[in-house]
Chains A and B, each alone.
Chain A
């Protein structure tokens, strides 16, 4: 699996509010065997309506209260199932609903969480790296985080958005740049999660776009009246306009998400579902989306949530990617990026990962770079 596909999902006309365009995705047939964890529903009483074999908790949505009273958000989406569905389990039958679970404001921790989750620590003990790097891996970066409330117009756009019958997902465009994508297995799940979209995290890029670009244009269908003589013709023209939009969307608007190749890490498997996290190959100049997906046995998307990285985050991701590809060997990595070693170290340092080097190594490269700069 290298790409994301929207198999089984159909695009419906988007709704524009100011600079925000929300494009709904409708599922031909809802997936009933995987459902949102019951505590994700407001009131938590929707559980009576269905009995899924497998549940998911979206990243950050659920908090679990520990014994000392602190709340712990789910870091990364989790797959769960009631104990009785596991074969040979000796545990007594449990209910999914636990009293300790409550709703939690989602996605405060989302963006950066996805990057380090997918990278491992150095596997070869090169002498340049500090012990810190081996023990902890790349540190989390404190980038400015923007909640959906801060993205201009998003809260209003979500409020006035009219949910399609059978809608199982949405693509959020800010100034016609794809900001995030959400897919759920079932329309009820989407309805429950729709209000929480405004609490999602967004990168600086999206926040800036929302401020800079006020209005997105409507795509108005054009019917060619000269070819229409009967009501059937008119109906056909309406359908053609609908198809035209969905093709245009697939090929142009969502191309940055669907055409790119991704690195998938298979994280968790339960029944026929697999939870995967993915990251792009960080090709310069391309959109960079990271996220999580749950796919069924046929590889169809049951659940998807993506985040668009801003440029700094993408650059940082590219560095980590290159280092991982070359087993954290500085020379090889520098050669892979067509750089000399001091330049690579300067980049790593500028990206905020200077702490991964041993201090003396870092100082040496810093002074080397300084003298190089002066000589030039």
Chain B
């Protein structure tokens, strides 16, 4: 009986971790945004109530930023239910997680805390700790002005505690403050009446001022170009070409330093002709990015085959355009670097990954067999798990393979699923015996494949707990001491 409860607990935790890695609450190919959000909310609530300490510990397991913020929000909301020991670990985990989250996510979380009227001592302390440790509060005070302001108010902060001069005047009384000594504040003040100052501000802030000054889009883009961050520059390439801001377009993006998954998304968003023209450049950039991720692990994985899903459902949704296909493409280049002998198998039968496009059916069964035929050491499947030609063939093939053709389990099979299935409350599995893990960015692939051994549903909670505890230990040992 205990064994059963154990296994159920392990399954619950794994299910949540997988979902929290893959789900972003956005619309997917098969389900809309509301269903996704509702399902994720249920899973969060369920984990929080039943496995509070493990729930907090999932922050260390690479859940995506949105879910990390949701976990922190829920933990702070229900601090009363936690024991002092739990609260101690939670505080350290949260502080560490906040340093890892992107800045805008954290401000978003603070705003959410304010809206949810969570204002306990622990919350205030955590907000204070985080804000005090910021390297450049002046910049953030300008870029996230309203969120910054409300966080300061919400946490009852004494503004003098924060590093940086003139914050008080900038946030609470700039009308009467006159000139600022801090250059950024002064630029911001001047931007209210001086067109030239607009172009010295960060892009997102300048956009608002540009509208006020009636600066045309083309002029604005031309002049703001030096202030653009790498991602902003990338995002604006095409719209700049439409508006005629050729300065932005000519300033071609340096692809060599882009992260792998983002680069794959960029490549797949290009028209087919352009991909053909820039084939060499794009392939080199993708390879270099993959090599950076692989690092010392390059070439150590032995013989690897990959079944990559480019069926129509890999086109994602209007909110997550081609996301499953992007992950598959990035995984293709990463596995190619990791393996000593690599064999890619796209579902459509295409040989040219750069020209990948989402169309056709998901005939996983036959493709899996093609991959297994050469008996590789590892078979990686990147697919949303909607096996439909025919339904359940992949499960049947994997079952027969495991029972009759490879009973010793020499070939490890790992299924990575980039899509959270809202109706099933989990990432869709291929077969009960095959480990399935969620994936958000292809960069996490090595860790996820290692984690996949837990995801067969045959491990007990003790083993899983040991693994998670070691992760927490490792994670927190990197931290700077924190008193929250």
A-side residues, CB < 8 A to B, are 12-16, 160, 162-165, 218-223, 225, 228-231, 234-235, 237-238, 241-242, 245
> Is B390 within 8 A of A222, CB to CB?
no
Top 6 A-B pairs, shortest CB-CB distance: A13-B390, A220-B392, A162-B312, A218-B391, A162-B361, A225-B400
Task: Give CA–CA (A241, B313) in the complex, Å.
Answer: 24
> Is A238 within 8 A of B404, CB to CB?
no
Could you tell me the distance in whole angstroms from the C-beta of B359 to the nearest C-beta in chain A? 7
Q: A163-B360, A223-B396, A231-B405 are in contact. List 19 more A-B contacts (CB 8 A).
A: A13-B389, A13-B390, A162-B361, A162-B388, A163-B312, A164-B389, A165-B348, A165-B361, A219-B390, A220-B390, A220-B392, A221-B390, A221-B396, A223-B400, A228-B405, A229-B404, A230-B405, A238-B369, A241-B390
> Is A241 within 8 A of B393, CB to CB?
yes
Task: Give CA–CA (A234, B397) in the complex, Å.
Answer: 8
Q: List 7 A-B contacts (CB under 8 A).
A: A160-B313, A164-B361, A165-B348, A221-B365, A221-B390, A229-B404, A234-B369
> Is B390 within 8 A of A231, CB to CB?
no
Could you tell me the distance in whole angstroms from the C-beta of A193 to the nearest C-beta in chain B? 16
Q: Which B13-51 residues have a C-beta within 8 angstroms of A?
A: 29-30
> Is A228 within 8 A of B29, CB to CB?
no
Interface presence of B160 (CB below 8 A) = no
Could you tell me the distance in whole angstroms from the C-beta of A12 to the nearest C-beta in chain B? 7
Known: A162-B360, A238-B397. A231 touches B388 (CB 8 A): no
> Is A234 within 8 A of B400, CB to CB?
yes
Interface presence of B373 (CB below 8 A) = yes
Interface presence of B362 (CB below 8 A) = yes
> Is A228 within 8 A of B396, CB to CB?
no
> Is A219 within 8 A of B391, CB to CB?
yes
Q: What chain A residues lie within 8 Å of B372 (beta carbons)?
A: 231
Task: Give CA–CA (A225, B400) in the complex, Å.
Answer: 6
Selected from A221, A228, A229, the residue in CB contact (under 8 A) with B393 is A221
Q: What chain B residues lie within 8 Å of A12 (beta carbons)?
A: 361, 389
Task: Give CA–CA (A174, B377) in the complex, Å.
Answer: 44
Could you tell me the distance in whole angstroms from the C-beta of B351 to the nearest C-beta in chain A? 15
Q: Which B353-399 residues have a C-beta within 8 angstroms of A?
A: 359-362, 365-366, 369, 372-373, 388-393, 395-397, 399
Q: What chain B residues lie within 8 Å of A235 (beta carbons)?
A: 366, 369
Could you tell me the distance in whole angstroms from the C-beta of B317 to the nearest C-beta in chain A? 11
Q: Which A-chain residue is minimally distant from B349 (CB atoms)? A: A165
Task: Give CA–CA (A235, B366) in the complex, Å.
Answer: 8
Q: What chain A residues lie within 8 Å of B366 (beta carbons)?
A: 235, 238
Task: Give CA–CA (A231, B373) in the complex, Å.
Answer: 7
Number of A-B contacts (CB under 8 A): 85
Most buried by A among B359, B365, B404: B404
Q: Which B-chain residue is minimally distant from A166 (CB atoms)? A: B360
Could you tell me the distance in whole angstroms from the C-beta of A269 to the nearest C-beta in chain B? 36
Q: Which A-chain residue is minimally distant from B399 (CB atoms)? A: A225
Interface presence of B403 (CB below 8 A) = yes
Q: Which A-chain residue is minimally distant from B359 (CB atoms)? A: A163
Q: Which B393-419 residues have a C-beta within 8 angstroms of A?
A: 393, 395-397, 399-401, 403-405
Interface presence of B311 (CB below 8 A) = yes
Task: Give CA–CA (A229, B372) in the complex, Å.
Answer: 14
Known: A163-B312, A225-B399, A225-B404. A238 touches B391 (CB 8 A): no
Could you tell me the distance in whole angstroms from the C-beta of B398 to the nearest C-beta in chain A? 11
Q: What chain B residues lie within 8 Å of A225 (beta carbons)?
A: 399-400, 403-404
B-side residues, CB < 8 A to A, are 29-30, 311-313, 348, 359-362, 365-366, 369, 372-373, 388-393, 395-397, 399-401, 403-405
Q: What chain B residues lie within 8 Å of A15 (beta carbons)?
A: 361, 388-389, 391
Task: Give CA–CA (A316, B48) in the complex, Å.
Answer: 63
Q: What chain B residues lie within 8 Å of A220 (beta carbons)?
A: 390-392, 395-396
Task: Give CA–CA (A229, B407) in the complex, Å.
Answer: 12
Task: Give CA–CA (A218, B369) in the complex, Å.
Answer: 22
Q: What chain B residues lie within 8 Å of A163 (beta carbons)?
A: 312, 359-361
> Is B365 within 8 A of A238, CB to CB?
yes
> Is A223 within 8 A of B348, CB to CB?
no
Q: What chain B residues lie within 8 Å of A165 (beta carbons)?
A: 348, 360-361
Q: What chain A residues lie within 8 Å of B397 (beta carbons)?
A: 223, 234, 238
Q: What chain A residues lie within 8 Å of B311 (beta carbons)?
A: 162
Q: What chain A residues lie within 8 Å of B369 (beta carbons)?
A: 231, 234-235, 238
Task: Give CA–CA (A242, B366) in the complex, Å.
Answer: 11
Task: Give CA–CA (A245, B396) in the complex, Å.
Answer: 15
Could you tell me the distance in whole angstroms from the C-beta of A221 to the nearest C-beta in chain B? 6
Could you tell me the distance in whole angstroms from the C-beta of A165 to the nearest C-beta in chain B? 6
Q: What chain A residues lie within 8 Å of B348 (beta carbons)?
A: 165
Selected from B29, B390, B400, B403, the residue in CB contact (under 8 A) with A242 is B390
Selected from A16, A164, A219, A234, the residue in CB contact (under 8 A) with B405 is A234
Could you tell me the distance in whole angstroms from the C-beta of B112 to the nearest C-beta in chain A? 32
> Is A164 within 8 A of B390, CB to CB?
no
Q: What chain B residues lie within 8 Å of A218 (beta carbons)?
A: 391-392
Task: Give CA–CA (A14, B404) in the complex, Å.
Answer: 28
Most buried by A among B313, B348, B396, B401: B396
Task: Give CA–CA (A149, B22) in the complex, Å.
Answer: 32
Q: Which A-chain residue is minimally distant from B401 (CB atoms)? A: A234
Task: Give CA–CA (A228, B360) in the complex, Å.
Answer: 29
Q: Which B-chain residue is minimally distant from A224 (CB atoms)? A: B400
> Is A13 within 8 A of B388, CB to CB?
yes
Q: What chain B residues lie within 8 Å of A245 (beta carbons)?
A: 390
Task: Give CA–CA (A15, B311) in the complex, Å.
Answer: 14
Q: Which A-chain residue is minimally distant from B372 (CB atoms)? A: A231
Q: Which A-chain residue is minimally distant from B311 (CB atoms)? A: A162
Q: What chain B residues lie within 8 Å of A219 (beta carbons)?
A: 390-391
Task: Give CA–CA (A14, B393) in the complex, Å.
Answer: 13
> Is A238 within 8 A of B393, CB to CB?
yes
Q: What chain B residues lie within 8 Å of A228 (beta carbons)?
A: 400, 404-405
Q: What chain A residues lie within 8 Å of B313 (beta carbons)?
A: 160, 162
Q: What chain A residues lie within 8 Å of B405 (beta carbons)?
A: 228-231, 234
Q: What chain A residues lie within 8 Å of B392 (beta carbons)?
A: 218, 220-221
> Is B396 within 8 A of A222, CB to CB?
yes
Task: Give CA–CA (A245, B391) in the complex, Å.
Answer: 12
Task: Give CA–CA (A237, B405) in the complex, Å.
Answer: 14
Could you tell me the distance in whole angstroms from the C-beta of B377 to the nearest C-beta in chain A? 17
Could you tell me the distance in whole angstroms from the C-beta of B481 to the nearest C-beta in chain A? 51
Most buried by B among A13, A162, A229: A162
Q: Which A-chain residue is minimally distant from B373 (CB atoms)? A: A231
Q: Which B-chain residue is minimally distant from A222 (CB atoms)? A: B396
Task: Give CA–CA (A235, B313) in the complex, Å.
Answer: 26
Task: Give CA–CA (A165, B373) in the complex, Å.
Answer: 24
Task: Give CA–CA (A13, B386) in the complex, Å.
Answer: 13
Q: What chain A residues lie within 8 Å of B395 (beta carbons)?
A: 220
Could you tell me the distance in whole angstroms from the C-beta of A281 to the nearest C-beta in chain B? 34
> Is A13 within 8 A of B391, CB to CB?
yes
Task: Give CA–CA (A165, B361) in the complex, Å.
Answer: 8
Q: Which A-chain residue is minimally distant from B348 (CB atoms)? A: A165
Could you tell me the distance in whole angstroms from the C-beta of B158 to the nearest C-beta in chain A? 55
Q: What chain A residues lie within 8 Å of B400 (beta carbons)?
A: 223, 225, 228, 234, 237
Task: Give CA–CA (A14, B390) in the complex, Å.
Answer: 7
Task: Give CA–CA (A316, B313) in the complex, Å.
Answer: 43
